Amino acid sequence: MGSTAKRWKRFTPLFLLMIPGLAYLIVNNYLPMFGMIIAFKDVNFSKGILGSDWIGFKNFEYLFKTADAYIITRNTILYNGAFIVINTIGAVSLAILLNEIRKKFFQRFYQSIVILPHLISMVIVSYLVYAMLSSETGLINKSILPLLGVDPIAWYSNKEYWPYILTIVNIWKGIGFLSVVYLASIISIDPEYYEAATIDGASKWHQIRSITFPLITPVITMMTLLAIGRIFHSDFGLFYQVPMDSGVLSETTNVIDTYVYRALMNLGDIGMSSAAGVYQSVVGFVLVILSNYAVRKFSKDNALF
């Protein structure tokens, strides 16, 4: 008995400290979840949300109605899947390279350079891309292609280039931030490991493969799992702003978020937009559980839960 009271006394300040965070989480992340019912209702404001009629899965129909349903799902998964793989590989290599730079000044310098794009708004990025690709004034069409003797390309009306363009833009924008996350975990590795390895005569490559890599694997797994959870949510700015909302490109640039935006812009139906949100979140949730399960199979320590 006495020990319980002691424990309470000891942990009460910690519980008190927890309250604001917990309250924030409940108010911001858990209470709104009840809003999910909107997706199954025909919302009528004069009746109120709770009083509106239940309509089952009718709000979800438009997501699966046309041939586009396949295209948007495919695009969303393939793009995000590719982004996860490429960004992770790129960011880890970049972090390792950054870590090898010995001069503090240069390390800081390169670090700032790679993280800079992360801070630029997508709308501005879209105009940077436009400055490159515009058919009337673009740098590539006006300066680079003529040098190579190639005819100008109408980038904004040819869909086949866009998988590459979007991937490049995404890497350019996202890799810096991710590599800083990895760099932080590399820096926290105890230098004694490397000293010991050097004494044993391990080469740089060996050190990276046998020390750095295994030690940051938990972070990689966590970041990847988090990304997988959002695989059905795509970066709206990237897919809407960067192609300049050009309809012709939709076969390779339309993803679930842009489809929903375009479909409901005039309709303004909150039931249908919630339906899209619920669909994305449920699929994301299932994917996280599955991939976490897979990770557990391989190594229990690396799993999120």
Partner 1 sequence: MKRKFSWISAILVMLLLLSACNANTSSNEGASPSTSGGASNSSGTALEPYELTMAYFTFGSVPKDQLLIEEALNKITIAKLNTTVKLLPISFGAWQNQINLMLTSNEKLDLMAIFGNTYANQVAKGQLTELDDLLANQGKGIVEALGAEYANAAKINGKTYAVPTIRDLAQKYGFYMPKTLVDKYNLNLSQVKTLDDLEPILKTIKEKEPKLIPLVNSVSSSPITSFNTRDSLGDDMGVLLNNGQDLKVVNWFETEEYATVLKKMREWYLAGYIAKDAVTVKESKSDIFKAGKGAGTLAAMKPGFDVQEARQSGTPIVSVEMLPPVAKTSTVTNVMWGIAKNSKNPERAMQFLNLMYTDKEIINLLDWGIEGKHYVKVSENVIDYPQGVTASDVGYSGLGWLFGNQFLSYIFKGDDEKLWEKMKEFNTIAIKSKALGFTFDSTSVKTEFAAVTNVMTQYRIALECGALDPDKSLPEFIKKLKDAGIDKIINEKQKQLDAWAATNGK
53 binding partner 1? (CB under 8 A): no
Given the complex with partner 1, which of 42 and 301 has the nearer CB atom?
42
CA nearest to 155, candidates 176, 172, 131, 183: 131
Q: Find where tokens 């100008």 sit.
A: 152
Cα–Cα distance, 304 to 295 (Å, whole number): 9
The window from 83-91, 129-137, 228-236, 279-287 that contacts partner 1 (CB under 8 A) reads 129-137
Figure out which of the listed residues 40, 41, 62, 83 binds partner 1, where binding follows CB under 8 A. Answer: 62
For the chain, state the CA radius of gyration.
25
266 binding partner 1? (CB under 8 A): yes
Figure out which of the listed residues 75, 76, 134, 185 binds partner 1, where binding follows CB under 8 A. Answer: 134
Figure out which of the listed residues 40, 83, 259, 279 binds partner 1, where binding follows CB under 8 A. Answer: 259
- Per-residue x/- mask for partner 1, residues 68 to 97, rule CB under 8 A? x-----------------------------
Given the complex with partner 1, which of 110 and 127 has the nearer CB atom?
127
The window from 27-35, 65-73, 174-182, 295-303 that contacts partner 1 (CB under 8 A) reads 65-73
The window from 5-13, 113-121, 134-142, 198-206 that contacts partner 1 (CB under 8 A) reads 134-142
The neighbour count for residue 95, using CB atoms within 10 Å, is 26
- Using CA of residue 249, residue 252, residue 253, residue 254, what is the dihedral sign? positive
Cβ within 8 Å of residue 291, ≥6 positions away: 224, 225, 228
H helix or E strand, kind and range, residue 287: helix 270-298
Given the complex with partner 1, which of 48 and 201 has the nearer CB atom?
48
Cα–Cα distance, 259 to 62 (Å, whole number): 10
Given the complex with partner 1, which of 133 and 183 has the nearer CB atom?
133
CA nearest to 113, candidates 169, 165, 179, 166: 179
Residue type, 219: V
Q: How far is the CB of 32 from partner 1 (least distance, A)?
A: 13
Figure out which of the listed residues 36, 86, 99, 130 binds partner 1, where binding follows CB under 8 A. Answer: 130
The window from 128-136, 206-214, 216-224, 282-290 that contacts partner 1 (CB under 8 A) reads 128-136
Given the complex with partner 1, which of 45 and 205 has the nearer CB atom?
45
Number of H helices, E strands in the chain: 15, 2
Residue 142 is classified by DSSP as I
162 binding partner 1? (CB under 8 A): no
Residue 152 is classified by DSSP as P
Q: How far is the CB of 246 from partner 1 (least distance, A)?
A: 5
Cα–Cα distance, 277 to 219 (Å, whole number): 28
Cα–Cα distance, 240 to 254 (Å, whole number): 8
Write out the residues near partner 1 by the rule CB under 8 A. Answer: 43-47, 58, 61-62, 65-68, 130, 134-136, 154, 156-157, 244-248, 250, 254, 259, 262-270, 272
